[in-house]
Structure 1
Amino acid sequence: MQLAPHLHRIGNDLVAVHLVDTPEGVTLIDAGLAGQWPELLAELAAMGRSIDDVRGVVLTHGDTDHIGFAERLRREHGVPIHVHEADAARARGEQSTKPEWGHMKLGATAKFLWYAARKGGLRTAHPTEVETFRDGEVLDLPGAPRVIAMPGHSPGSVAVHVPAVDAVFVGDALTTRHVLTGAHGPQPAPFTDDPAEALASLHHLDGIEATWVIPGHGAPWRGGVSEIIDAIETAAESSGR
């Protein structure tokens, strides 16, 4: 699905992967679920591209619903996987946390878990090799993605600012669809290690100029960076976080 010139998406509001398409090649933001591989191939073909045009995967963090087909890309096609140094062990499956699930609704939670299982969420292959980055780095990948540290959801959670497509990709630093309750609109994301730190990290986006604010779960936002931060803080306050 094309969102804008040079900006594409696969998946849906439950789990999404984004593609930045430039003359130098394609950068993937996250790698979703393993079973989304055919959707990746189909979207690349629709773009007039192939898997050989993918130059790298940038992980917004190391959770399993964001690393799905990353190792397949690396192992079969030599595509490097980039992740913040604080989430490298998490991405490789060497450490994990068990954050509280918090409020949930049976129907919405079942839908998310069913979709994740159907798309290979139970057979995730963790990357065996990753390349690490730090806050503020501009990666040598198509679109020149710049890393913005957003700790809270995980220690190495980041946003990825790509001015070439007028977008900032925020992973699970926030969400516009709560996968456990089905609630739509800007709000804190579930499965967060440190909710208070995640809220504070939103202000690391202050001053970012981007039309698109794109989470890993939920609809892309086009209402402005400061506006979505305000909306999430209001939602967090109303929920007692």
Structure 2
Amino acid sequence: MAVTTVAEGVHRITGAFVNFYLVEDEDGLTIVDSGLPAMWNVLQDALKGLGYSLEDVRALVLTHAHFDHLGLAHRLHSEHRVPVWVHPEDAFLARHPYRYSHEKSRLLFSLTHPAGVPVLARMAGAGALKVHGLEEFAYLPGTGTLDVPGTPEIVFSPGHTNGHCGLFLRDRNVLFSGDALVTLDPYTRRAGPRIVAGAATANSAQNLETLTALAATGAGLVLPGHGEPWTEGVEEAVAIARRNGAA
């Protein structure tokens, strides 16, 4: 597991093929997504290294509520009273992170795409099968900005899940694309801009269409839920993802 600074005041925490992010400003910190349970100590070490503690975290904002983005949410909220934000369309998923819609059988897909099995095994080893759902959270607006550190703009981008949202830091030209646009598909282990396979995506056609909303931000840096940061602009990433199509 590792922590890297990827933009001014933006830090990436990565492990078991999963990313989440810290955003700092003068009002404190926002966490974007929350990885897997085994990443708790890495989060604490990252905060300490930046001169912060958990008491400086003002919000956890979820791009969506799949288990690999919800991993630390219950602990952050229950032990440290960090407010958790999620889109209303992902509220059920936030309560029940393993009961999500997907187009294809996960088991059959893994059998026909064995390259992804070690990735999923690493995620399981980091606690992917032990994520607790939430009972208390706040709802993201469908549009506009959120009054938390970093002041992210909400980019409603359903398809991967019904309530998926990108988060755009306009003043830093940074887009958190969640799993609507990734640079590594955990289910195939294919790299480069793409959407996640149907084994974990509710509606691939909608996901490909909703990339238009992400491209409209014009962001120079794209920070996905899986894979390396993309530095060549969101429009190029979207064009490549559409050429790659659904899996």
**TM category, shorter:** over 0.9
Aligned partner of 1:56 in structure 2 is 59
Q: How many residue pairs are counted as aligned between the two chains? A: 237
Structure 1 unmatched runs, 5+? none
Q: Using the TM superposition, name which of 112-121 and 225-234 deviates more.
A: 112-121
Q: How big is the shift at 1:13?
A: 7.3
Cα drift, residue 121 of structure 1: 1.1
SS in 2 for 1:208: coil
Q: Which amino acid in structure 1 is aligned with residue 25 of structure 2? A: T
Preserved CA contact (<8 Å) 1:12 1:218: no
Amino acid at match of 2:182: T
Map of 1:93 onto structure 2: 96
Q: State which of 81, 86, 93 in structure 2 corresponds to 1:78.
A: 81
Cα pair 1:13 1:177 within 8 Å, conserved: no
The answer to whether residue 114 in structure 2 is matched with residue 111 in structure 1 is no
1:229 maps to a residue whose letter is V
**How far, CA to CA, are the matches of 2:7 and 2:67 in structure 1?**
27
Give the residue type in structure 2 aligned to 1:223: E
CA distance in 2, matches of 1:207, 1:125: 34
TM-score of the two chains, using structure 1 as the length reference: 0.93
Structure 2 unmatched runs, 5+: none
- Runs of 4 or more, structure 1, over 6 Å off, are none
Q: TM-score, normalised by structure 2?
A: 0.91
Amino acid at match of 1:206: A
Alpha-carbon shift at residue 12 of structure 1 (Å)? 3.9
Please show how residues 1-241 of structure 1 align to structure 2 within 5 Å: 1-12=4-15, 14-93=17-96, 95-100=99-104, 101=106, 102=109, 105-106=113-114, 108-190=115-197, 191-236=200-245
CA distance in 2, matches of 1:206, 1:6: 23
Q: Is the 8 A contact 2:64 2:178 kept in 1?
A: yes
Per-residue deviation, 1:166: 2.2
- Deviation of 1:98 (Å): 4.0
